[in-house]
Amino acid sequence: MLQESELAYTHGLNDAQRDAVLSVHGPLLVIAGPGSGKTRVIVHRIAHLILGESIPPWNILAVTFTNKAAREMRERLETLLGHGAEGLAVGTFHSQCARILRRDGASAGIDPRFAIFDDADQVDLVRRILRDMEIDEKRFPPRSFLSTISAAKCELISPRQYAEHARGPWQERAATIYRRYQETLTDNRALDFDDLIMETVRLFREATEVLEAYQERFHYLLVDEFQDTNTAQYRLVRLLAQKYRNLCVVGDEDQSVYSWRKADIRNLLNFETDFPNLKVVMLEQNYRSTQTILSAAQSVISANLMRKEKRLWTENEAGRPVVVHEAYNEEDEAQFVIREIERLVRAEQTRHGDIAVMYRTNAQSRPLEDTFVRSGMPYKLVGGVRFYERKEVKDILAYLRLALNPHDLVSLARVLNVPPRGIGERTIAEAQRWAGRQGLAFMDALEAIADGREGQTNPVVQPRARNAICGFIRLVRTLNIAAHESPPLDVLDVLLEQSGYAEYVRDGTEQGEDRWANLMELRTKARDFAEITPPLGLAALLEDVSLVQDIDTYNPEADGVTLITLHAAKGLEFPFVFIVGMEEGLCPHSRSIDDASQMEEERRLVYVGFTRAMRGLYLVYAYRRMLYGSSMLNQPSRFLSDIPLELTRQPSLGPRAVLSRRAAATADGASDTKTATTGIEQQFFPGDRVFHPAFGAGVVVESALVRGDEEVTVAFEGKGVKKLSVAYAPLQRD
């Protein structure tokens, strides 16, 4: 018999949801299928802990993966609990760890004023290291080393440990770069994203009194999207939960699509081994999609082996069939999407904002964008040039970070001569050499030069350059004072006024006004931050900006069709979804075709895409596609053949079927390797070794002259089988 307090937090929940809400003590695994109301379960579970079980809010920690999800959870809790939610810790892994390190990191030798280096800062840092080591970054891209470093940190492997196990030239070179990268971060009093987790784990291991303090504070832990955790994140959770073991994790292995971010699906699949007295609750009732969409999704995902058996069901109607359409090429594909959207808007009173077009890779958005622009149809691109990566925004953020931390060398290097103030590369090089001889940090050397402490008899730089350095140092000191005395908005205004950046950006051009508008948007961010969050100061603003993710900028209220990758669409829902590029080599991606584990992830990605749709799902593929500079003739995706025919509708005969009827006639008229109509001669034959700039080396499997062109089927090493048009593909004999 439910008590009155329990009824308050279980009203409207189904049996499985109610079970998850009321299971308070001990480890709990909630397997939450898409659209099964998991956020509601988490929110009501926290409400029950506080009001039903009298657990103080400050004894609860709820962790999720995106700022958007954390913000939504916090807002729903405030609506449900009012002031009862005060003191509750809700946030992302990175934001919670940043808060822990700023408060207690000194116990592990971490400066609480540390800066957070974002993606672009990390690339700049590795690029400088490669330059110092005289390594050609065209042959060895900075991001390849960053990926290696990130993978090591996600496994809690230090530079020393990595070097001890390095084998071969690549790993040995990467070990050196990892060591220098970490040393430079330390010199700059900075951490990267992976450090936030790794250093918190190190803090808890080395300072047991700090760990015990947080264990005593957080008696109850909830982790959302648990299938996306990596080794370091899972280790962190286990450390916090090992005393009281009141750990609730919510996830779905069928939606694990971030292995490239080092997410480890085994954390969820093996959770029962780590917590043997575990309770498991399955949320299988879907409230989002029609049964037809769910059945199509189930038919694709059921082929995977690394999963827990579950079957989604819904009380919603069966709904319309899944539309499967074959286009001739990517332009025809985009035109079909536009026509069908126009029909939905006209005939079914659908808003543009109710529709999403999803694709496997960002490169596929170009023809879609072009067609949307030409048609005048409103759209919003999720995953384009991110706001915080635009040059003018990066410049101002670098200034603000320098205001807090004058020893941030990457930020210093970015803005020392921006706007141009007469501190050229020669002056910088001379100042750096002098700093090295004196054993000074670069900023300390600049201050010495500005103050005239380097010696007048043998000046380091020319008088004009010294004056420029003096002006820059005065600006940094002014900003430093403002950063410690004023709210972020005032600091930003001082910066724009005294740095000359406003005049630098507003150069009288339309582009200049666009850049200025971006800075005004950053100003709005600073103002909004102060209104939404208690006045934590400039450090908190910069931390919030550093941790923002692309999906956090998504605005569901804007009335435009959403163009988005399948990865970025996770967590969203739309009444109507189009998935384009449903072809072998694209979806599934060519990189995954020969890897069973990666192929399972491709299935999970398609499953995620299908289950974003509420009322209608369209699957589109092209007979011929121009991508990466080559014309490719791909087969329809294997995932399409997984869907039972009775669930689908194909509105018209596609070009592949039409052309196949003409193939016999073409073959009859091409009895030798030259066609009478075009005079084209066959260039490639089975067994030929060939090379393609995008796909690498391969072997010709088949070649044929078709409609005035030569179509070559090639098996590429590690890229799978491709059918290419010789007229477009830059194919060479190897």
Asked if 607 and 299 touch (Cβ cutoff 8 Å), the reply is: no
Q: Using CA atoms, how far apart are residues 529 and 522, in angstroms rounded to an integer?
A: 10
Token code pair at residue 308: 């827990």
Compute and round to an integer the Cα radius of gyration of the chain.
29
Chain-centroid distance of CA 91 in Å reads 17
**Active-site residue flag, 421:** no
Residues 353/562, Cβ–Cβ less than 8 Å: yes
- What are the residues facing 585 on neighbouring strands? 589
Apex CA 77: angle with CA 71 and CA 83, to 5°? 115
255 is catalytic: yes
Six-digit token pair at 406?
Answer: 């004058």
With CA atoms as reference, report the closest residue to 347 among 616, 558, 120: 616
Distance CA 181, CA 176 (A): 8
612 catalytic residue (yes or no): yes
Strand partners, 578: 357, 618
- Residue 52 DSSP symbol: I
Q: Which residues pair with 215 in a beta bridge?
A: none
Type and span of the H or E element at 324: strand 322-327
Rounded Cα gap, residues 447 and 429, in angstroms: 16
Output the six-digit token pair for 52.
């039903």
E strands, 367-468, are 379-381
Q: How far is 427 from 460, CA to CA, in rounded Å?
A: 9
Tokens of 173: 């070179």
Distance separating alpha carbons of residues 352 and 354, to the nearest angstrom = 5
- The active-site residue, picked from 39, 176, 285, 650, is 39
Separation CA 450–CA 434 (nearest Å): 14
Q: How far is the C-alpha of 272 from the C-alpha of 667, rounded, in Å?
A: 60
* Selected catalytic residue, list 104, 225, 354, 550: 225
Residue 39 among the catalytic residues: yes
Classify residue 261 by its DSSP letter. Answer: G
**Active-site entry in 194, 224, 340, 583:** 224
Helix (H) or strand (E) segment spanning residue 648: strand 648-649
Ramachandran class of 87: left when φ > 0, alpha when ψ lies in -120 to 50, beta otherwise: left
Half-sphere exposure of 695 (CA within 13 A, CB side): 32
- Please state, in angstroms and rounded to a whole number, the distance separating the CA atoms of residues 299 and 179: 47
Q: Which residue of the set 255, 427, 611, 675 is catalytic?
A: 255
- The strand pairing partners of 704, in sequence order, are 711
- Identify the active-site residue in 10, 17, 19, 38: 38
Q: Write down the catalytic residue from 612, 615, 624, 723.
A: 612
Which of 724, 708, 711 lies closest to 632, judged by CA? 724
Would you please indicate which residues are annotated as catalytic (active-site) residues? 38-39, 224-225, 255, 612
